[in-house]
Amino acid sequence: MKKLPILIVADAAFVPSYSHAGDAGADLRSSESKILKAGCRDTFATGISIAIPAGYVALVHPRSGLAAKHGITVLNAPGTVDAGYRGEIAVTLLNTSSDDFAIEVGDRIAQIVFQQFETADFVAVESLPDTQRGIAGFGSTGQA
């Protein structure tokens, strides 16, 4: 298994961790306590800064348990952390429920997934090649 070297600045309590062997997402923790009001969003510091190797991106995803049980999700899911960014990672959460939700220091609030990517070389053309689907967009399969 290939290991991805990630340089990190963090207090030991905030270093991301995988809950189970083979998990894609490592848990991010809040480094601050706040009440996330019902129907509102707020940004939470994680206490970490990382250096990602060129050709990789970190994607911040919601935690499924928070979403399913409490309606807490990552607002811009997935959030993108580019390799050149060196600031503290923060997560903007949205409370979709009708109840306020307390987040304490050390609570797991999101997951971070590292992914290799390709950079596109955009080429301007007059038209695109035809396909069976063509320009059919939203709902084009007839499924709801």
For 69-96, the pLDDT digits (tens) are 999 999 999 999 999 999 999 999 999 9
Mean pLDDT in the chain? Answer: 93
Question: Is residue 61 included in any domain, yes or no?
Answer: yes
Tokens coding 22: 């083979």
> Domain range holding 37?
7-116
pTM passes above 0.75: yes
Question: Is residue 56 included in any domain, yes or no?
Answer: yes
pLDDT at 27: 97
Quote the Cα angle for 75-18-117, to 5°: 60
Digit-coded pLDDT (tens) for 20-54:
999 999 999 999 999 999 999 999 999 999 999 99
Using an 8 Å Cβ cutoff, are 114 and 30 in contact? no
SS3 of the chain: helix, strand, coil, percent, to 5 = 5, 40, 55
Question: Is residue 125 included in any domain, yes or no?
Answer: no
Question: Is residue 124 included in any domain, yes or no?
Answer: no
Integer Cα distance of 62 and 71 in angstroms: 10
pLDDT at 141: 75
Question: Is residue 141 included in any domain, yes or no?
Answer: no
Digit-coded pLDDT (tens) for 50-67:
999 999 999 999 999 999
Digit-coded pLDDT (tens) for 108-122:
999 999 999 999 999
DSSP state of 53: P
pLDDT at 143: 65
CATH of the domain at 30: 2.70.40.10
* Nearest of 34, 17, 55, 28 to residue 110 by alpha carbon: 28
Contacts 24+ apart (CB under 8 A), 11-20: 11/47, 13/47, 13/106, 14/46, 14/47, 14/48, 14/106, 15/48, 16/48, 16/112
Question: Is residue 1 included in any domain, yes or no?
Answer: no
Domain count, the chain: 1
Question: Is residue 123 included in any domain, yes or no?
Answer: no
pLDDT at 144 over 60: no
Question: Is residue 134 included in any domain, yes or no?
Answer: no
